Structure 1
Amino acid sequence: MIRVVTTKDAKQIVDIYNYYVLNSIVTLDLVPFSVLDFEEKIQTISNDFPFIVFEEGSEILGYAYANTFRTKPAYKNTVELTIYIKHSEIGKQIGKKLYSELLRLLKNLNYHVVIGGLTLPNEASVKLHENFGFEKVAHFKEVGYKFDKWHDVGFWQLTF
């Protein structure tokens, strides 16, 4: 089931995210987050943007949200997307279901452009974005440093 996030989801969401902080370059965050950090993030983001979770039983298997792309007023119709799937659930089409719903919500809210920023390489996320019609529009080389290595970041864009 896909539903709107609540702050009660923070513990499960932070567990999903912190796995990637500690074990992956998917996020370039270096320090794990607390439950309180994610409660605040959920409150702040969900006040202004769609923030949804994929739940099976009472277990959250993934989440996705839109957020501010840039703070200048001229960017108000553009958002940046975030999606994370519980690492043990990758390959089960949860990302596709979450993105389908999130993009539907954003289109209904009259957003014009959605951006996905990806640490590279990340074949699964590139495939997810391109399957929804996103096009690669930027590639920044060696802009993030994690696990004693430089990493590239790419940006994919979808215009409604």
Structure 2
Amino acid sequence: MTLRFAIKRDGTPVLSVTRRDGTVAWQRQSFFFPLHDLTHYAVETVLGLRQAFWGMMADGWEFADFGTPWPRGPMPNLPEALLAEVIAGWFDTTRASGAEPEAADLNPHVAQVFAQHGLPAPRAVTDDEFARICALRADLAARWHALAPGEAMELAFTVGDGGRRDDQRL
């Protein structure tokens, strides 16, 4: 699947995905969502998650399916989707606070959120995985911030590929 993060000439962020079958989904975004969605990309590629946000988009979900009234019903494989969302949200909160993300803080936070949902804690994110997520996230954020109106960057998302990525700036 190809993800295209673009900035329209008027400065509005737009995200589109082109699936293997040629179908396209797109969304105008607020200025919060590009970094959140790029964080999802970093988390899901490094951890090799199949049924989190980008995997579901690859399977045909639409952006509007991820909110009330949940037109497609509950997300499949909730623990994997929850893991990606909790980690991406944790990075968002950390970024908003101005603090540097610390590996030692992530796994206890994830375990606490899973417990609140009545789920066992997932496997811990290793220090190596954490470092790779941070590095990829920082690279993507810098590239996003470097885009001018009318420019875009594309990322290839291959579910379950263990973090392989091909990307380019247009």
- Per the normalisation by structure 1, the TM-score is 0.31
The structure carrying a bigger strand percent of its residues is 1
- Per the normalisation by structure 2, the TM-score is 0.30
The structure carrying a bigger helix percent of its residues is 2
